[in-house]
Amino acid sequence: MPVSQINSNSLATGVPAKANLPTGSVLQVVQVSQNVRFLLNTSAAKINEANLTTSQTNSKILAILSCAIGGNNAYADHDLGLAIGYKTGSASSTSTDYTAVHYQGYSRQVVAGLGSFYANDTTRSGDGSIYWTEEKTYLKLISPNQSSGTNIYVSFWGSTDGTYYLGSPSGSTETDGGSEMSLTLLEIAG
């Protein structure tokens, strides 16, 4: 079948291992979603992770992150840093085992070894903020330059010097209010 005739229904059955799709073609999609109230407290932690096994050599991975930062009922001078990194082989609970994929210049709050793609000073607070979440979306094209059949983990990390809630605000639970968070990976022919 010519590439121009491939639709989402035919992709659902999988791409043959030896298919030679043109550069930029989506080879596979993996998504991990979570509906949780994640407490990040004076530390760094892995918040979400997705993995895929590459189907072509030197393919690229488009990582799409959607997360929600919860508001507080009172002003707090707590910094927050968010980061994404990738690792081949197997997952790890240590951020320095991952390779940074984004801008490294924000120094306000960083994740060790990864820096941060987003950093801020002080929590969101004020009237109603206790029940409010701020949505963050981040997209990054990663070029891991790996052979076909390589297992790649892409992880979303957060770091703070105080307390932050992700996925739900401080005044709610994940069953009351908040926002579903997700990490989506698209393997793209290189």
Contacts 24+ apart (CB under 8 A), 87-90: 87/152, 87/153, 87/155, 88/144, 88/146, 88/150, 88/151, 88/152, 88/153, 89/151, 90/151, 90/153
Terminal CA-CA length for the chain:
21
Query: Do the Cβ atoms of 129 and 169 come closer than 8 Å?
Result: yes
**How confident is the model at residue 158, as a pLDDT?**
96
Average pLDDT, the chain: 87
Domains in the chain: boundaries: 22-182
CATH tag for 22-182 (out of 3.30.450, 1.10.287, 2.60.120, 3.30.350): 2.60.120
Position 169 scores a pLDDT of 86
Residue 27 pLDDT: 96
pLDDT grade for 58, boundaries at 50, 70 and 90: very high
Judged against a pLDDT cut of 70, whether residue 107 lies above it is answered with: yes
Question: Which band of pLDDT confidence, cut at 50, 70 and 90, is reported for residue 71?
Answer: confident
* CB atoms near residue 12 (< 10 Å): 7
pLDDT at residue 50 in the model: 98
Q: Grade residue 143 by pLDDT with cuts at 50, 70 and 90.
A: very high
Q: What is the DSSP letter of 168?
A: S
Q: What is the pLDDT of residue 1?
A: 33
| Look-up of token digits 């984004």 | 102
Residues 184 and 63: beta-carbon distance below 8 Å = yes
Query: What is the reported pTM?
Result: 0.85
Q: What is the mean pLDDT of residues 149-174?
A: 92
HSE value, Cβ hemisphere, 13 Å, CA-based, for 124: 19
Between 11 and 116, whose confidence is greater? 116
The set of residues, in sequence order, having a beta carbon less than 8 Å from that of 68 and lying 6+ positions away, is 133, 134, 135, 136, 166, 167, 168, 178, 179, 181
Euclidean distance between CA atoms 165 and 146, whole angstroms: 35
Query: For the segment 33-45, what is each residue's pLDDT rounded down to a tens digit?
Result: 999 889 999 889 9
pLDDT of residue 142: 97
